[in-house]
Amino acid sequence: MTDALYNDDIDLSPIFDLKLALVGYGNHGRSHALCLRDSGARNIRIALRPGSPSRAKAEADGFEVVTLAEAAGWADAVALLAADEAHRQIWDTEIAPNRKPGQALIVCHGFSVHYDLIKPPADCDVILAAAKGPGGAVRQEFEKGKGLIGFWAVHQDASGRAREIALAYLAGIGSGNVGIFPTTFREETVSDLFGEQVVLVGGMVALAKASFDRLVAAGVSERMAYIDCVHEIKYLADLIQSRGIAGMYKAISDTAEFGAREIEDRIAGPELRKVFDDAMVDIESDRFARKWVETYEAGEAMVADRDADEALKIEEAGRDLRSRLYGASK
């Protein structure tokens, strides 16, 4: 495995005088903008669509807000930090027709470049600067003097400086405090999509819903089923994050460990591996990416699914428990 690079290994000067436009001011955009400014980046503008609800927040944070077209004509580098599924529309309609020659493109996920949803011209540095974790955590860890582990890659190096820009950008958002590693656009994209689909989101939610339903069918109260199959996920996840899987097993009861080991191989049997294989085929091809972007561009993506989730018994039990524990209404 390649050794990590840290702040002492990295020259931050490539971002100091760069005219840098950040597209989007959600969790990633706001965190990146604030951290880069605190690290010494002097020329940052926030690019937003007209009427964006994020405009007031960006201006309150002291940033100049411009349109996407204005940003494309001004910036030396554009960091496209909007949602992956919006990249094609933003690039085709706003950035590509207005971009300054030689302008670099920075993305924090490889998705849109890896799947050829956007096609930068030959004069464009195409850079991946991925801090691995939620966007909001970038700022939270930076303020602690830490950061999220960073990964960089270069798809095109028109200027000869793409690597230096990538490393400086990641160091500027705090990753140089904990380690920056090389990757590829393909590796970052495939790993990110697979992990969130089969484990972190899709797999976890499927297990939680199915186990809740089975306990309730066995006569267990919805409150008890929710606590044991959903609420306590956080405690185990915290143990795994801080101690690893082996350390988690050492920290829980012997009864829990023995029962988990008895069933682990049965859960991860041939049927599950087939699901994983099918998911990987969809991700490795462009099937998943195209389907998702086309669904997004058609509008109203997942509205019905979200409404249906709100009506589930597992959600009712969760709202009730949270209201008792935290005084929350949702």
Do 12 and 154 have their domain in common? yes
Beta strands in the chain (DSSP E): 19-23, 43-47, 64-66, 77-80, 104-107, 126-131, 150-156, 180-182
Do 87 and 171 have their domain in common? yes
Do 162 and 232 have their domain in common? no
Q: Catalytic: 155?
A: no
In a domain, 2, yes or no: no
In a domain, 134, yes or no: yes
- End-of-domain residue from the set 129, 156, 183: 183
pLDDT in tens, 86-129: 999 999 999 999 999 999 999 999 999 999 999 999 999 999 99
CA atoms within 13 A on the CB side of 299: 0
Which pLDDT band, with edges at 50, 70 and 90, does 300 fall under? Answer: confident
- End-of-domain residue from the set 164, 183, 202: 183
Instruction: Spell 301-312 as b/e; 16+ CB within 10 A means b.
Output: eeeeeeeeeeee
pLDDT in tens, 173-193: 999 999 999 999 999 999 999
112's enclosing H/E stretch is helix 111-114
Asked if 137 and 110 touch (Cβ cutoff 8 Å), the reply is: no
Annotated catalytic residue: which of 87, 109, 114, 155? 109
Do 217 and 174 have their domain in common? no
Do 92 and 151 have their domain in common? yes
Do 153 and 213 have their domain in common? no
Query: What residues contact residue 183 under an 8 Å CB cut-off, 6+ apart?
Result: 128, 130, 151, 152, 153
Nearest to 223 by CA among 328, 319, 327: 319
Cα 166 from Cα 154, distance rounded (Å): 8
Do 140 and 11 have their domain in common? yes
In a domain, 1, yes or no: no
Do 135 and 161 have their domain in common? yes
- For 297, the token pair is 């561009």
Q: Is the pLDDT of residue 294 over 60?
A: yes
pTM across the whole model: 0.91
Please give the residue range of the domain that contains residue 128. Answer: 7-183
pLDDT in tens, 123-159: 999 999 999 998 999 999 999 999 999 999 999 999 9
- End-of-domain residue from the set 127, 156, 183: 183
- Domain of 19: which CATH number? 3.40.50.720
Q: Is the pLDDT of residue 329 over 60?
A: no
Domain count within the chain: 2
The whole-number average pLDDT for the span 244-269 is 95
Do 114 and 239 have their domain in common? no
